[in-house]
């Protein structure tokens, strides 16, 4: 094949471009076509515009000829224009409408009689829903309708008409109601006031360490129509919130509780606590007993969780040293223990100011605890050895308590507890020990005194017979005497005394 030189190659490229410029590039072809069509389009536009102008000129000429033939006087023409303008203005300002009146006083205007009747029916339906009574109705004898020309501005749409009717008839009102567990405590037109009121209830419980605060009840503000006469002020709702509702509040008896202590801790007298718990034996509280302390509870229960910062004690350990000279179960202190301390952070939960939970989140020990050292007995305990606690010496009814009383015509201090029962009822040792008195003792009659070898002595008086003698070692629960009324007594009973280091104590503080 013959090679082309540079000049020949250039000539070939020029000939290719100039021979058929429109044959290879689309945009070039479109450009050439557009340029060709522009003169044609311009000519067509000019022809069309000329034809339209000629038609308009012919129509204008015809109209002038008609007007010239009729020759309407100018005043007539002006008057016609004024009439048409006046009609347009009148119809824009007035229309046919139906006015609703109650006891002769107009209270709203509807676009038609049907709309008016429908509005009254809707208001009546809302009244029934609000009052919860399907028979609730408006006195239609006091309602009247009149149809005629009315101002367009006075015509109300359906929602506006119903709202106006409700307002004017004063049967129901739009309000915000406070509900607690489904019970309505009051309604007001001031929603913001209700919200502020709930914030004020929480305010005393808030501080810089508060993490959360909430009502345990379902508290909500509902919007809607309510009977108009149920609208109240915020002060009345506050009084209701601070009041109580029917509901039981109980207390679970814990170790060491006494009847008087439980009553005092809950702001009650002993008689009031007895009235709330009829038939309950106040002398025999058992751990786990449920006592009713109130028949009313507050409307709102507030749960608060907050951080607390304090110095806490760290318990010390106890080390024991066996001692064969002491009975099993007995201990004595060799070295007192010392509590350690720790800077503590705790997350504490309160319900109505009563602590219900405490979670220690962080502790930094500032001083270590020091262990206590106790001696611990290993010698076998005899059956008569004291246990350190007392049981009831007999069965029966408490006829007289420890303390001042009026008897035999004068007031005196009763040093024990009288337990009454029938003649011959068994009397038992309240704890183990040694009998140090068994015989007649003046006003006590036949008396047994047991020394429990730990500073305590117990007295059992007015017995009919004795079953032990001085020096006997008796065990806890041993039959030691039988009930009677010897000495200064008004009937069969056991006079039971507890003395510590010679001083009388209230036996009820020691009996289970």
**Tokens representing residue 319 in the block:** 């080390």
Reported as a single tens digit per residue, the pLDDT across 199-234 is: 888 888 888 999 999 998 898 999 887 777 778 888
Alpha-carbon span 446 to 135, nearest angstrom: 84
Alpha-carbon span 495 to 449, nearest angstrom: 12
Least confidently predicted of 109-123, 126-140, 452-466: 126-140
Q: Which residue has the higher pLDDT, 220 or 40?
A: 220
Output b/e per residue, 148-171; b: 16+ Cβ within 10 A: eebeeeebbeeeebbebbbeebeb
pLDDT at position 448: 97
pTM above 0.75, yes or no: no
DSSP-based three-state secondary structure for 256: coil
- CA atoms within 13 A of residue 221's CA, in its CB half-sphere: 15
DSSP 96: E
DSSP-based three-state secondary structure for 222: strand
- Mean pLDDT of the chain, nearest integer: 81
Statement: residue 182 has pLDDT above 90: no
pLDDT at position 167: 64
Reported as a single tens digit per residue, the pLDDT across 473-502 is: 999 999 999 999 999 888 999 999 999 999
Reported as a single tens digit per residue, the pLDDT across 155-170 is: 777 777 777 776 666 6
Using pLDDT thresholds of 50, 70 and 90, give the confidence band for residue 101: confident
Burial category of 122 from C-beta neighbours within 10 Å (exposed 0-12, middle 13-18, buried 19 and up): middle
Q: Which residue has the higher pLDDT, 464 or 281?
A: 464
Alpha-carbon span 199 to 241, nearest angstrom: 13
In Å, how far are 309, 407, 460 from 442, measured between CA atoms?
Answer: 62, 18, 13
pLDDT at position 224: 82
pLDDT at position 19: 45
Statement: residue 441 has pLDDT above 70: yes
Statement: residue 240 has pLDDT above 90: no
Domains and CATH numbers, the chain: 95-170 (no CATH), 175-243 (no CATH), 246-298 (3.10.350.10), 302-379 (2.20.230.10), 397-509 (2.70.70.10)
Q: Which residue has the higher pLDDT, 122 or 201?
A: 201
| Interstrand relation of 493-500 and 456-466 (parallel, antiparallel or unpaired) | antiparallel
Alpha-carbon span 69 to 60, nearest angstrom: 14
Sheet holding 331-335, edge to edge: 318-327, 372-379, 331-335
Alpha-carbon span 234 to 193, nearest angstrom: 7
In Å, how far are 340, 344, 349, 364 from 314, measured between CA atoms?
Answer: 5, 11, 22, 11
pLDDT at position 189: 87
Locus of tokens 């479109």: 30
Statement: residue 60 has pLDDT above 90: no
Reported as a single tens digit per residue, the pLDDT across 306-329 is: 999 999 999 999 999 999 988 887
Q: Are 501 and 454 in contact (CB under 8 A)?
A: no
Q: How much of the chain, in percent, has pLDDT values that exceed 70?
A: 80
């Amino acid at each position: 094949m013959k090679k082309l030189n540079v000049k020949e190659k250039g000539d070939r490229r020029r000939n290719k471009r100039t021979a058929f410029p429109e044959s290879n590039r689309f945009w070039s072809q479109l450009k050439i076509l557009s340029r060709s069509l522009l003169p044609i389009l311009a000519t067509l536009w000019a022809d069309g515009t000329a034809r339209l102008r000629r038609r308009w000129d012919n129509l204008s000429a015809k109209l002038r000829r008609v007007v010239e033939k009729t020759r309407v006087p100018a005043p007539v023409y002006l008057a016609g224009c004024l009439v048409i303008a006046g009609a347009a203005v009148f119809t824009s300002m007035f229309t046919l409408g139906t006015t609703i009146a109650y006891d002769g006083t107009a209270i709203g205007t509807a676009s038609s009689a049907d709309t008016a009747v429908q509005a009254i029916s809707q208001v009546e339906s809302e009244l029934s829903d609000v009052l919860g009574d399907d028979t609730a109705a408006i006195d239609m004898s006091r309602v009247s309708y009149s149809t005629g020309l009315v101002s367009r501005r006075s015509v109300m749409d359906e929602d506006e008409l119903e709202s106006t009717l409700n307002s004017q008839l004063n049967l129901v009102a739009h309000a915000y109601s406070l509900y607690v567990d489904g019970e309505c405590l009051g309604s007001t037109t001031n929603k913001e006031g209700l919200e502020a009121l709930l914030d004020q209830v929480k305010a005393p419980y808030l501080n810089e360490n508060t993490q959360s605060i909430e009502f345990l009840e379902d508290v909500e503000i509902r919007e809607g129509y309510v009977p108009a006469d149920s609208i109240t002020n915020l002060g009345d709702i506050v009084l209701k919130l601070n009041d109580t509702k029917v509901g039981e509040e109980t207390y679970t008896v814990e170790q060491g509780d006494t009847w008087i202590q439980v009553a005092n801790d809950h702001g009650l007298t002993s008689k009031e606590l007895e009235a709330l718990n009829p038939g309950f034996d106040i002398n025999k509280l058992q751990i786990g007993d449920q006592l009713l302390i109130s028949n009313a509870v507050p409307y709102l229960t507030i749960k608060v969780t907050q951080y607390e910062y304090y110095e806490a004690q760290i318990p010390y350990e106890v080390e024991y040293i066996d001692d064969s000279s002491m009975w099993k179960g007995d201990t004595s202190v060799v070295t007192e223990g010392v509590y350690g301390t720790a800077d503590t952070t705790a997350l504490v939960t309160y319900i109505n100011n009563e602590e219900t939970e405490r979670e220690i989140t962080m502790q930094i020990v500032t001083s270590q605890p020091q262990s206590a050292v106790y001696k611990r007995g290993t010698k076998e305990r005899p059956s008569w050895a004291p246990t350190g606690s007392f049981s009831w010496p007999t069965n029966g009814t408490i006829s007289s308590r420890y303390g001042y009383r009026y008897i035999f015509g004068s007031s005196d201090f009763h040093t024990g507890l009288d337990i009454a029962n029938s003649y011959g009822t068994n009397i038992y040792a309240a704890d183990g020990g040694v009998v140090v008195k068994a015989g007649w003792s003046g006003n006590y009659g036949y008396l047994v005194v047991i020394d429990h070898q730990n500073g305590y002595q117990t007295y059992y008086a007015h017995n009919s017979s004795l079953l032990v003698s001085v020096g006997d070692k008796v065990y806890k629960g041993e039959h030691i005497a039988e009930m009677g009324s010897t000495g200064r007594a008004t009937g069969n009973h056991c006079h039971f005394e507890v003395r510590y280091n010679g001083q009388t104590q209230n036996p009820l503080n020691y009996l289970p």
